[in-house]
Amino acid sequence: MMREPTLLQLAVAQVLQLTPAIRSFVLRNAEGGALPPFAPGAHLGVQVVQPGGSAGLRAYSLARPHAAGDDAYEIAVQCEPQGAGGSAWMHALAPGDALTAHAPRNDFALREGDAAPLLIAGGIGITPLLCMARALAAQGKPFDFFYATRSEASTAYLHEARALGATVVHDGGDPSRGLDLRAVLAHPQPGRHVHLCGPRGMVQAVVDTARAQDWPDDHVHFELFAGAIAQTGDAPFEVRTLRSGKTLTVPPGQSLLDVLIAAGLDPMYDCRQGDCGVCAVDVVEGVPDHRDHNLSPREKAGGKTLCTCVSRAKTPHLVLDI
């Protein structure tokens, strides 16, 4: 469901190079005073400028839990050279630079049941899990934490994750050498919730393994980061919005939903990862490239509806009834 975002004026207070591709940013309230609170799992919607000057919106998970009176947020951004330019714009920021962001929003809340939560991170998907682990550790609560990356050199927050008790595995780019998911997910218990964020393939593998090992679906919670939604070979496409009369270009690495929001439209959305169906719109012309988990095979084959948060186009143009 659409909620009016609160816009925050922030200033870059600190930039740290965590790995060759990942930088962390501490963003302070440019207007002084405390920033809006959030719970672990929340993300910040940062307004970025893409090559050519077009505006974009990027969701970056908050890496450090909020404490009362905090006037700063911490995020980490992986530079995506094949993306639409938002992460490159972020990496060009230096201390003192200004930016605007939507206030934190949480689509990936930490569920604390009767048993210790299970946290599983892949790559830059560490940020929301690190926030959860930091919060749980600060409260002296137990949790199990697993973190898979390609190599030690590409691992953001490696030492802190280990200090928080994470089992860290490097797969060298071969998922079969990564986490032993059957072992990690061996013991489903009532009230024990899995939280995971990582690349699409890893998320699918965890969800499939959890189902095979009798975890209830409502005990497995995941979030895909922006780079996980993109696919190799994505091309730009043009969208005409029939009722609002706009013609927009959706570049690779940016969602149609974010392009609609950046253009000033007011689309409905909720999960932003193809699960809930709230963002579905009617297609008048063109062929959708469906990437959601919500529409039925029949609806996808019919091609008359599309989830704007993840899906793209197989044709150079789409006309949408919005």
Cross-strand partners of 46: 58, 101
Question: Which residue lies nearer to ligand FES by CB, 294 or 305?
Answer: 294
272 binds ligand FES (CB under 6 A): yes
Judged by CB under 6 A, the number of residues near ligand FES is 14
Dihedrals φ, ψ of 211, to 5°?
Answer: -60, -45
Distances (CA, A) of 42 to 28, 69, 86, 110, 275: 17, 17, 19, 9, 17
- Binding track, positions 290-309, relative to ligand FES; x by CB under 6 A: --x-x------------x-x
- Among 246, 277, 299, 319, the residue binding ligand FES under the rule CB under 6 A is 277
Question: Which residue lies nearer to ligand FES by CB, 104 or 267?
Answer: 267
Q: Determine the distance from the C-alpha atom of residue 211 to the mean position of all C-alpha atoms in its chain, rounded to a whole number.
A: 23
- Cα(147)–Cα(161) distance, integer angstroms: 8
Nearest approach in angstroms of CB 310 to ligand FES is 6
Angle (CA) 159-227-183 rounded to 5° is: 55
* Residues between 242 and 271 that touch ligand FES (CB under 6 A): 269-271
- Among 15, 55, 278, 284, the residue binding ligand FES under the rule CB under 6 A is 278
Nearest approach in angstroms of CB 277 to ligand FES is 5
Nearest approach in angstroms of CB 162 to ligand FES is 34
- Among 164, 197, 276, 320, the residue binding ligand FES under the rule CB under 6 A is 276
For strands 194-198 and 118-122, give the pairing.
parallel
DSSP 262-315: HTT-----SSSSSSS-TTEEEEEES-EE---SSS-HHHHHHTSEEETTT-EESS
Nearest approach in angstroms of CB 121 to ligand FES is 22
Stretch that binds ligand FES, among 22-30, 40-48, 231-239, 275-283 (CB under 6 A): 275-283
* Residues between 152 and 211 that touch ligand FES (CB under 6 A): none
Distances (CA, A) of 280 to 142, 219, 305, 306: 39, 25, 6, 5
Q: Which residues are at the interface with ligand FES (CB under 6 A)?
A: 269-272, 274-279, 292, 294, 307, 309
